[in-house]
Amino acid sequence: MELKNFMEDCVIAKIDAMIPQYPGYCFCEECKRDVAILALNHLPPKYVSTEKGQIFARVEGMSRQYEVEIIKQVAEAIEIVNAHPRHKSNIGS
């Protein structure tokens, strides 16, 4: 049986969409991963194991409140990671 946390896909897509709003911030792979991990730790997981479950999760994910919470958590995570990057240089891609 294969398990998938659908929330991971949502958070990663939202990070990629929000990058242009943060010019000068580091979005190297390490920082992006840290942002995703931090945001995911503050969001409820949405595990699916079937294609039907993925479709249900996508429909549920279309809720406005659901999206607002993802944006909020990603934005907070971006600010935290930028203020405390785990690498020496804060210049990223």
Name the token pair of 69: 């919470």
pTM score of the predicted model? 0.81
pLDDT, position 89: 63
Output DSSP code: residue 46: -
At 16-47, the pLDDT tens digits run 999 999 999 999 999 999 999 999 999 999 88
Q: Which residues contact 82 (CB under 8 A, 6 or more apart)?
A: 22, 25, 26, 31, 90
At 44-85, the pLDDT tens digits run 998 877 776 666 666 665 677 788 999 999 999 999 999 999
